[in-house]
Chains A and B, each alone.
Chain A
Amino acid sequence: MSKAALVQHDAFNLDIKTDPFSGLSYGEYQHRCGLRLLLQPKPGFVRKFAAFGIPFGSIYKNYIDEEGQSRAIPAGSAHYLEHCIFSRDDEGGLMGKLSALGCQANAYTSYVQTVYYFSGTAAFGEAFHIYLDALLHPYLEEDRVIAERGIIGAELDMYKDDPDSFAFHSLMNKLYLLHGAKDDIGGTRESIATIDAQTLKQIWARFYSPSQMQIVVVGDFSEDEQKTLLRELDRVLSAQNWAAAVRYRHPEEPAAVEVAELRLELAVENPSFILGIKDPYPFTKAPLDPIALGKRTMSTALYLDSIIGEGSSLYTKLYEEGLINDSFTAQYLCEDSFAFFLLSCETEQPAEAAERILELLRAELNSAQEPGEIFAIQKKASLGHLLRAIDGVDSLGMTLVQAHMAGLELAEYAKIIDQVSIAEAKASLSFLQNDALRVTVLVAAKGETT
């Protein structure tokens, strides 16, 4: 087990931080080009983890090019670019090279970010630089871009076969009028057909600059390993000038929805509904302060768990009435530029269930009686979940990269859990009363032959 201290390097500013709740200490390094590296020691563990976070997801719809012209980004471009980073060559491409080192790699694209990650037990430094090189010098030529299109098309087909995914994307498409959250993360077969090598190269040049990249590494690193990592990273970063961070402004989203109700007939066994209510708050306040956003997310999650989660009397009532079952979800998602509330369930009478659940939920929100005791229990449960999430190398790494991409420190999580109140949550959720911002998608089974 190594108990190496965090090392310094001239090209990086080092800030050592400690989370009093978990007892974890870590180093936050900032390179002069802007790149941030978080190094989390995990003594006694053989696995090492790294994640590269790029603040570029599917909601970005255009950018300003070198000539100052606004250029449209076709839907699905961020996801397409993620696929192409793993492009193949005679050595199996990035995946092949990492596999040869015994490393498991993957990536995901969300609305707001793309995260690349890997973990392995040996040759970590080598794998790290192979991965970084693939991100900073990707092979984005027409042959590979065309080959990847078929694979992405098959992936989109797979999502179409998933009724939950299809209904969710249909909901988002009706909930938003202009914002990028309107489109599927992967785009459509039509939109990806318009993406070529040139498109991807230009997007990569604007959004994959290290100046806005966040890297998280977790593991038991000796001082020599740390020094090598920092030295090599500095060598790569100092080798050329990188574009400055992109300033992006999302379109102004109207306080309206496209349709109030959408009926879908899909190849399902269970009818269902998914109901969304758009929260106008981020449009007026963006960009949100990360702590404020963290508090908003945490307070609403704990409050919703208290009034309609499995431990609530409302959930039990609805469950016993047969209106909901294990498939029921109620959640609020808040990102920097958009936020919405979701209710969904597979149920025999979707329209009636959606109305009644929302009605009862609104009544809870309006009730003077507050679920103080349950809220306290949910806080305690959240602390337990947090400790569990940071117990292993990979899960700790993923928790850290998500926190840092959201602009939060790990140390702030426990503090936020402690500080949030029911009053804050109720205020945040006041938009739930607004029917003008609501879309209900009702899914019914269509006839099928087997």
Chain B
Amino acid sequence: MTAILPDKLKKIAGIIPQSTEELAVWGNKELPEQASFGLALGFFDGVHKGHRALLDRLLWHCKEPQLCSAVYTFDELPKASLIGTAGSGSRIQNAQRRAAYILDEGIDFVFEQVFTPAIQSLEPETFVDYLCQRLRIKYIVVGDDFRFGKARKGDSQLLKSLAEKHGTLVEAVAQVQGGGQAISSSRIRALLKEGRIEEANRLLGHPFSIVGTVIRGRGLARTWGMPTCNMRLDPEQLVLPFGVYASRTRIGRRYYNSISNIGLRPTLNANEKEPLLETYLFDMSADLYDQELEVFILKFQREESHFAKLEEMVEVMRDDISDSRTYLAEQERLQPVGKACGIPYYHLATTRFTQAYLHFCLSIPADSRKNSARSLAMRMVLQASAAYPGRQAFSLAQDEQYGASLDAYNDNEGERQAFEFTVEGITRGMHDETPFQNATLLLFHALRKPLLDANGLFDESLFLTEQNNLLTELKSRMQNKAKYAYDRSFSLLLDGLREGISPKGDPDVIPTLTREEVTQAWFELLREARAAVYVAGNLPTTYHDVLLHELEAFATLNRKVEAESQVRLLPSSLKLEEAREASEYKDIEQTRLVMYWSGLEPFPLIKGSVLNVLNSLYGADSHSLLFEMVRETHGLAYSIHSQVLRHLSMLMVSAGINGGQIDQAIEDCRNQLQAICEGKFSERHFQSSVAMVESKLLALSDSLHGQLLYQMNALEAGHPQDSKEALEALATVRPEDVSTMASGLREAFVYKLLPLVQPEVGVE
């Protein structure tokens, strides 16, 4: 479910010069003069997962040459696409919601062309000329089923050849699969009309929603203790089957669990002609008349019925509410709860676990000096705070909450430095205490109100101690030879690039940092970073209220709501030159090897299942080719594994090599990858890889933290999915898909960390 809000949407009319037809422009900013564009063409009804793959491609392509990204679409669905649907009133979203969802993906503008008879009658050639004369277009992306021009004569091939004449690059993206078939708006519309809401929502990647204003009803439901909000249905939008649905409702920036009825309410009014959406919000009571609500429909519960007696209807309604509550409480899917100061808050509801987890994620462009300053600040804020000025008091405050733990990590996220502050603890104490909630408060107070002196700078004693300790920690990390080899190879691979700046801090910079700049860097992070909160656990509404209140308090730090918080995280567009090698010598016993391959598709989640199988087959699991061949059969390594570096679109192999056999091991690693490219792997290896990926996905549901991380990463990458969807995709993976993906890999870098004294080959 997307967390977009209508107030960020501006409709700018008539900005494009020499416009003769009506063209509306939706965007969050003014159109720059002299801008060059990357465009995605299509109708984008529903902005489903297939559309998002197109938009990802557009964003990624526009990133490096600094193009403005835009979607060019029509105000009405071309008639030919409406065959089999009911004409007007059959869209998944109205135009405003569609534009909002597209902009929420990080696209700069939506150009909405009125689909006039003149436009409809344009020949494909004329249409392309028309487009390219109006806008400076450098790049166009379309779906591979794209049709355009009079009578839909043009296809993506023709578009390519026509656009090339204008110097425009055209890419056609394959349709994204979901549930074994291509995802399309018409398929989603059909599912929605059949009431198969959960399936439709999976394909959409967000729940179907209805937006409207609360109108006055007869207030009957209030008399039964179930006051409802009544809304008219959107005339542009398709109508779901009449019946009862589990739903969630957004009021302003806050989301609540709810139950909705769509229909004519035959028991109450036999003559009702106009269907209404009636929604009862759980755990929330306020006068909502004339307010705009967005109701997200999650699950069809039952058809609308006529009851002979009112009491009978009320009884059934109580059961409906109970079913809906249970469904929503056990859903185990990340849902937005609200947004404050540009920080969205998502919650994964569950009833199976006694503990809960919180991740507060922040990211900001990397900077060689500020990375060190922020890394040091991260240490300090979890040592003491204004409320608990001593280390002992701060530590005991956590222990007091049944040993709840606060922690912090930082890492690279492509060109950004990313932070995660976490809380872990049990939700309810033996005497009905709320340890997790209290620990959450402890964290947010510590972040916003760290231990400062009278001048507003980090406490001097704390600063000096942690400056020293951070240096010790970094040196300690160097003592771990595997980590050392990884860090060193990473920095050599990305030398001079923003992606290569260490997120942990630089031992040469840390001693030169001043309290002023560290304090400044910390508050700059809180003010400007892209931020989001993810929580999993069996938590009451009061917890959500408390957490949102904490997020609202970031306003006191003058947090910028619209800047970094809206940044869509994109994979790095790193372009590595030819393959390189580096060897270094150190006083070690075991040779270390790190190899990097570039060339994974920039959005691996779209083909995540293929990538997971490839990684399992190559080196992630104990049946893999690296483990079975390089380690077990050829005896060249003890530890060896492969992993995906998502933000860099790379695959990495890390290994501890047996004495003197480094060159054979490198060759063997290359050979195993080549075998995958050529499809020379056994059925057993392939099936084991699929079984392992499947088992890990199935097992995710048994780990609350695992589920949270999986769904959080998917959401951060812009492709929300749960393990069920990933399992569906996994079922379609074929050995040749894995070979094709492997064939796209190019060796980028080989790093050898060798002992000063070379052991003899084959020493035991």
Known: A45-B702, A320-B465, A384-B403. A151 touches B638 (CB 8 A): yes
Mark contacts of B428-460 with chain A using CB atoms, 8 A cut-off: 1 yes-contact digit, 0 otherwise: 001000010000000000000000000000000
Q: Is A147 an interface residue (CB 8 A)?
A: yes
Name the residue on B nearest A446 (C-beta).
Answer: B587
Determine which of B588, B621, B627 lies in contact with A267 in the assembled complex, contact meaning CB atoms within 8 Å: B588
Q: Is A34 an interface residue (CB 8 A)?
A: no
Which residues does chain A contribute within 8 Å of B302, judged by CB atoms?
A: none
Nearest Cβ distance between residue B511 and chain A, in whole angstroms? Answer: 14
The CA of A326 and the CA of B470, in the complex, are separated in Å by: 10
**Contact yes or no, B764 A270, CB < 8 A:** no
The CA of A34 and the CA of B527, in the complex, are separated in Å by: 64
Q: Is B692 an interface residue (CB 8 A)?
A: yes
Q: Is A363 an interface residue (CB 8 A)?
A: no
**Contact yes or no, B404 A315, CB < 8 A:** no
Known: A149-B764, A151-B638. A100 touches B691 (CB 8 A): yes
Q: Is B271 an interface residue (CB 8 A)?
A: no
The CA of A28 and the CA of B638, in the complex, are separated in Å by: 38
Q: Is B478 an interface residue (CB 8 A)?
A: yes
Nearest Cβ distance between residue A261 and chain B, in whole angstroms? Answer: 22
Q: Is A381 an interface residue (CB 8 A)?
A: yes
Determine which of B435, B585, B691 lies in contact with A450 in the assembled complex, contact meaning CB atoms within 8 Å: B585
Which residues does chain B contribute within 8 Å of A100, judged by CB atoms?
A: 623, 684, 687-688, 691
Determine which of A99, A119, A153, A313 lies in contact with B392 in the assembled complex, contact meaning CB atoms within 8 Å: A313
**Contact yes or no, B402 A121, CB < 8 A:** no
The CA of A270 and the CA of B473, in the complex, are separated in Å by: 9
**Contact yes or no, B475 A158, CB < 8 A:** no
Q: Is B599 an interface residue (CB 8 A)?
A: no
The CA of A270 and the CA of B586, in the complex, are separated in Å by: 16
Which residues does chain A contribute within 8 Å of B83, judged by CB atoms?
A: none
Residue among A122, A311, A383, A393 with max Cβ neighbours from chain B (10 Å): A311
Nearest Cβ distance between residue B583 and chain A, in whole angstroms? Answer: 11
**Contact yes or no, B465 A319, CB < 8 A:** yes
**Contact yes or no, B623 A92, CB < 8 A:** yes
**Contact yes or no, B704 A392, CB < 8 A:** yes
Which residues does chain A contribute within 8 Å of B692, judged by CB atoms?
A: 99, 102, 104
**Contact yes or no, B403 A322, CB < 8 A:** no
**Contact yes or no, A316 B638, CB < 8 A:** no
Q: Is B413 an interface residue (CB 8 A)?
A: no
Which residues does chain A contribute within 8 Å of B352, judged by CB atoms?
A: 44-45
**Contact yes or no, A163 B399, CB < 8 A:** no
The CA of A7 and the CA of B646, in the complex, are separated in Å by: 47
Residue among B465, B587, B639, B695 with max Cβ neighbours from chain A (10 Å): B695
**Contact yes or no, B656 A381, CB < 8 A:** no
Determine which of B354, B622, B695 lies in contact with A391 in the assembled complex, contact meaning CB atoms within 8 Å: B354
Q: Is B272 an interface residue (CB 8 A)?
A: no
Determine which of A45, A154, A381 lies in contact with B402 in the assembled complex, contact meaning CB atoms within 8 Å: A381
**Contact yes or no, B656 A158, CB < 8 A:** yes
Determine which of B400, B480, B589, B621 lies in contact with A377 in the assembled complex, contact meaning CB atoms within 8 Å: B400
Residue among B430, B627, B632, B756 with max Cβ neighbours from chain A (10 Å): B632
Nearest Cβ distance between residue A5 and chain B, in whole angstroms? Answer: 20
- In the complex, chain B residues 708-764 whose Cβ is within 8 Å of any chain A Cβ: 756, 762-764
**Contact yes or no, A320 B355, CB < 8 A:** no
Mark contacts of A31-56 with chain B using CB atoms, 8 A cut-off: 1 yes-contact digit, 0 otherwise: 00000000000001111000000000
**Contact yes or no, A268 B687, CB < 8 A:** no
**Contact yes or no, A312 B699, CB < 8 A:** no
Q: Is B469 an interface residue (CB 8 A)?
A: yes
The CA of A268 and the CA of B480, in the complex, are separated in Å by: 9
Which residues does chain A contribute within 8 Å of B424, judged by CB atoms?
A: 388
Q: Is A251 an interface residue (CB 8 A)?
A: no
Mark contacts of A114-154 with chain B using CB atoms, 8 A cut-off: 1 yes-contact digit, 0 otherwise: 00000111100000000000000000000000010111011
Query: How many A residues have CB within 8 A of the partner chain?
Result: 73
Known: A160-B589, A377-B396, A381-B402. A387 touches B699 (CB 8 A): no
Mark contacts of B97-115 with chain A using CB atoms, 8 A cut-off: 1 yes-contact digit, 0 otherwise: 0000000000000000000
Determine which of A103, A153, A269, A313 lies in contact with B764 in the assembled complex, contact meaning CB atoms within 8 Å: A153
Nearest Cβ distance between residue B274 and chain A, in whole angstroms? Answer: 42
Which residues does chain B contribute within 8 Å of A367, judged by CB atoms?
A: none
Determine which of A45, A154, A309, A313 lies in contact with B638 in the assembled complex, contact meaning CB atoms within 8 Å: A154
**Contact yes or no, B584 A383, CB < 8 A:** no
**Contact yes or no, A96 B684, CB < 8 A:** yes
Q: Is B90 an interface residue (CB 8 A)?
A: no
Which residues does chain B contribute within 8 Å of A449, judged by CB atoms?
A: 585-587, 756
Known: A316-B392, A382-B403. A47 touches B590 (CB 8 A): no
Name the residue on B nearest A156 (C-beta).
Answer: B589
Q: Is A262 an interface residue (CB 8 A)?
A: no
Which residues does chain B contribute within 8 Å of A122, judged by CB atoms?
A: 695, 698
Determine which of A101, A149, A320, A393 lies in contact with B702 in the assembled complex, contact meaning CB atoms within 8 Å: A393
**Contact yes or no, B638 A269, CB < 8 A:** no
Nearest Cβ distance between residue B590 and chain A, in whole angstroms? Answer: 4
Known: A380-B400, A381-B399, A392-B704. A105 touches B586 (CB 8 A): no
Mark contacts of A294-332 with chain B using CB atoms, 8 A cut-off: 1 yes-contact digit, 0 otherwise: 000000000000000111110110011010011100000
- In the complex, chain B residues 279-325 whose Cβ is within 8 Å of any chain A Cβ: none
Determine which of A154, A268, A309, A384 lies in contact with B401 in the assembled complex, contact meaning CB atoms within 8 Å: A384
Nearest Cβ distance between residue B431 and chain A, in whole angstroms? Answer: 10
Name the residue on B nearest A163 (C-beta).
Answer: B479
Nearest Cβ distance between residue A10 and chain B, in whole angstroms? Answer: 33
The CA of A351 and the CA of B659, in the complex, are separated in Å by: 35
Nearest Cβ distance between residue A7 and chain B, in whole angstroms? Answer: 23
**Contact yes or no, B586 A450, CB < 8 A:** yes
Which residues does chain A contribute within 8 Å of B704, judged by CB atoms?
A: 391-392
**Contact yes or no, B703 A121, CB < 8 A:** no
Nearest Cβ distance between residue B164 and chain A, in whole angstroms? Answer: 48
Mark contacts of A155-178 with chain B using CB atoms, 8 A cut-off: 1 yes-contact digit, 0 otherwise: 101101111000000000000000
**Contact yes or no, A189 B764, CB < 8 A:** yes
Nearest Cβ distance between residue B705 and chain A, in whole angstroms? Answer: 8
Which residues does chain B contribute within 8 Å of A102, judged by CB atoms?
A: 691-692, 694-695, 698
- In the complex, chain B residues 127-175 whose Cβ is within 8 Å of any chain A Cβ: none
**Contact yes or no, B637 A154, CB < 8 A:** yes
The CA of A320 and the CA of B7, in the complex, are separated in Å by: 50
A-B contact list, 12 entries, CB within 8 Å: A92-B623, A96-B684, A100-B688, A102-B695, A150-B635, A309-B395, A316-B392, A322-B465, A377-B400, A380-B403, A381-B400, A384-B402
- Sample of 15 further A-B pairs with CB below 8 A, known A99-B622, A270-B476, A311-B396: A46-B702, A95-B622, A99-B692, A100-B687, A147-B632, A154-B658, A155-B638, A160-B589, A316-B390, A380-B402, A383-B402, A384-B403, A388-B354, A450-B585, A450-B586
Chain B residues within 8 Å of A, Cβ to Cβ: 352-355, 390-392, 395-396, 399-404, 424-426, 430, 435, 461, 465, 468-469, 472-473, 475-476, 478-481, 584-590, 621-623, 627-628, 631-633, 635, 637-639, 656-659, 684, 687-688, 691-692, 694-696, 698-699, 701-704, 756, 762-764
List 5 tightest A-B contacts by C-beta distance, closest first. A384-B402, A381-B403, A102-B695, A154-B638, A269-B475
